[in-house]
Amino acid sequence: MPSGDSHRSLARALDILELCSLSGIGYTLTQLSQYLGIAKGSISPLLHTLLARGYLTLDDQDHHYRIGRMAFRIGNTYLEEASALREIYRLMHDIVSVCHETCHLGSLKNGDVYYLKKVETPLRSRTVTVEGRSLPAYATGVGKALLADYQLPQLKALYYDGLYPLTEHTITDFRLLADQLAEIRASGFAYECEESTRGIRCIGVPLRKSGKVVAALSVAFPLERYNDAAAASARQALDEARRQIERLLCCVELQF
């Protein structure tokens, strides 16, 4: 079948599902054919496939096609993921309410930390991160948390061009970075001081699912507001959020 016909068949199958989702009563073959402007001979094979795959059901009494269990399963997966993300964002707001500093959620993409969500501090902030932007993971607190399980050979393979500096404080030695990651695995916390942005310090924690790091959280401080008490408060808030999020991830398939 030509590519254009394949795409048209897929579009028609989606049109059928979208129409059936609008009515709990469902539609007969004739109604579907009329409403969608598709000849019965063309729509029948699509309906047969959707029935066989569980995306539609057919009532033997009134001969109406209705949404099937597989369509509900996909919809429920979306709702569960959206609900899980809302809970993670709520926990990030809780961190900010405790620490009064900016909180970041990030994932690892080709050696960079990709900033998925940022909850700003109510205080005057000097952080420059933007949702949807990225920075080299080795130069940030949230990024080092994402790299926590990487060993020296993996780091060299990931950053085959070397570690270039973003500031004069950026780590550019692979062995020093590997030593820091070992400390993160031991303590559970990642640290960065002016390595990505002058005047900013960060504390991060990895978020694990089935033992694998899938995302990370961090708190970013302007240097003038960073002290031992502030750091301790941030670690406690991050660790509590981490425990709650990891319990959530055990029950939900969430793609960061």
CATH code of the domain covering residue 62: 1.10.10.10
CA distance 198 to 102: 16
The answer to whether residues 128 and 18 belong to one domain is: no
Residue 177 inside a domain? The answer is: yes
Give the Cβ contact number of residue 112 at 10 Å.
19
214 falls in which pLDDT band (50, 70, 90)? Answer: very high
For 56-77, what is the mean pLDDT? Answer: 86
**Domain of residue 158, CATH code:** 3.30.450.40
The answer to whether residues 27 and 82 belong to one domain is: no
Instruction: Report CA torsion sign: 118, 124, 126, 130.
Output: positive
Name the domain boundary from 22, 40, 67: 67
| The predicted structure's pLDDT at residue 252 | 74
Name the domain boundary from 22, 39, 67: 67
The bridge status of strand 65-67 relative to strand 212-222 is unpaired
Residue 142 inside a domain? The answer is: yes
| The predicted structure's pLDDT at residue 79 | 64
Name the domain boundary from 67, 88, 112: 67
The answer to whether residues 238 and 164 belong to one domain is: yes
The answer to whether residues 85 and 57 belong to one domain is: no
Max Cα-Cα span within the chain: 75
Tens of pLDDT, residue by residue over 32-62, are 999 999 999 999 999 999 999 999 999 989 9
| The predicted structure's pLDDT at residue 112 | 95
The answer to whether residues 240 and 161 belong to one domain is: yes
Mean pLDDT of the chain: 90
DSSP-derived letter for residue 43 is H
- Tell whether the model's pLDDT for residue 1 goes beyond 50: no
- Tell whether the model's pLDDT for residue 255 goes beyond 80: no
- Tell whether the model's pLDDT for residue 131 goes beyond 60: no
Residue 256 inside a domain? The answer is: no
Domain count, the chain: 2
The answer to whether residues 15 and 89 belong to one domain is: no
| The predicted structure's pLDDT at residue 251 | 75
Residue 72 inside a domain? The answer is: no
- Least confident interval from 76-90, 136-150, 222-236: 76-90
The answer to whether residues 222 and 123 belong to one domain is: yes
DSSP-derived letter for residue 197 is S
The answer to whether residues 57 and 118 belong to one domain is: no
Written as six digits, the tokens of 228 are 């031992």
256 falls in which pLDDT band (50, 70, 90)? Answer: confident
| The predicted structure's pLDDT at residue 69 | 86
The answer to whether residues 111 and 232 belong to one domain is: yes
For 249-253, what is the mean pLDDT? Answer: 79
Higher pLDDT, 73 or 213: 213
- Least confident interval from 24-28, 126-130, 186-190: 126-130
Domain coverage including residue 163: 77-249
| The predicted structure's pLDDT at residue 4 | 57
CA distance 184 to 20: 51
Residue 254 inside a domain? The answer is: no
128 falls in which pLDDT band (50, 70, 90)? Answer: low
Beta carbons within 8 Å of 101's beta carbon, 6+ residues apart: 121, 123, 219, 220, 221, 225, 230, 234
The answer to whether residues 91 and 203 belong to one domain is: yes
Residue at 131: amino acid letter = E
For 228-251, what is the mean pLDDT? Answer: 93
133 falls in which pLDDT band (50, 70, 90)? Answer: confident
Half-sphere exposure of 7 toward its Cβ, with a 13 Å CA cutoff? 3
The bridge status of strand 212-222 relative to strand 200-209 is antiparallel
Residue 96 inside a domain? The answer is: yes
Provide the whole-model pTM.
0.71
The answer to whether residues 60 and 166 belong to one domain is: no
CB-based burial of residue 65 (10 Å sphere; 0-12 exposed, 13-18 middle, 19+ buried)?
buried
Percent of the chain with pLDDT over 70: 92
The answer to whether residues 47 and 86 belong to one domain is: no
